[in-house]
Amino acid sequence: MRFLLNLTFFLSFISAWSQPAQSPSLRTRRTSVITQQGETLNLQEAISAALEKNYQIRIFKAQEQIARTDFRTAKYSFFPNATANLTNNSNLQNLRQTFLDGLRPPQNLYGLTNRNTQVGINLNWTVFNGFGNFIAYDRLGEVVKITEANTRANVESTVASVATAYYDVIRQLQQLVSLRQALDISRDRLELARANYEVGTRSRVDYLSAQVDYNADSSALVAQQQNVRNSKVFLNTLIVRDPATEFAVRDTIIVRTDISLDQLQQSLTTNNPLLIAAALNRRVANLNVKLAQSQRLPTVNLIGGYNFQAINNQGGFGVGSARNDALIYGFQASVPIFTGFNQRRLISNAQTNALVTEYQESDQRLQLQQALEQTYSQYRNSLILVNLEVESYKIANQNVDIAFERYRVGNSTAVEFRDVQRNAVAAETRLINAEYNTKIAEIELLRLSSQILQQNK
Mean pLDDT of 110-116: 77
Select from 288, 298, 299 the least CA-distant residue to 346.
288
Q: Are 249 and 169 in contact (CB under 8 A)?
A: yes
DSSP 37: -
Distance CA 198, CA 22 (A): 19
Q: What is the pLDDT of residues 172-188, one digit of tens each?
A: 999 999 999 999 988 98
Residues 280 and 145 sit within 8 Å (Cβ to Cβ) = yes
Quick one: pLDDT band at residue 28, thresholds 50, 70, 90? very low
Level-2 CATH architecture, domain 25-78+143-298+339-455: Up-down Bundle (1.20)
* Helix segments in 298-456, DSSP class H: 342-408, 414-448, 452-455
Q: Is 355 helix (H, G, I), strand (E, B) or coil?
A: helix
Read off the pLDDT of each residue in 19-26 and give the average, rounded to a whole number. 36
Length of the chain: 457
Residue spans of the domains in the chain: they are 25-78+143-298+339-455, 80-128+300-334
Whole-number Å distance between alpha carbons of 418 and 275: 54
The whole-number pLDDT of residue 30 equals 43
Instruction: Give the whole-number percent of the chain exceeding pLDDT 70.
Output: 90
pTM, whole model, 2 decimals? 0.81
Whose CA is closest to 91, among 114, 57, 60? 114
Phi-psi region of 109 (alpha: psi -120 to 50; beta: other; left: phi over 0): beta
pLDDT digits (tens, 9 = 90+) for 243-287: 999 999 987 889 999 899 999 999 999 999 999 999 999 999 999
Where is 95: in which H helix or E strand?
A: strand 81-97
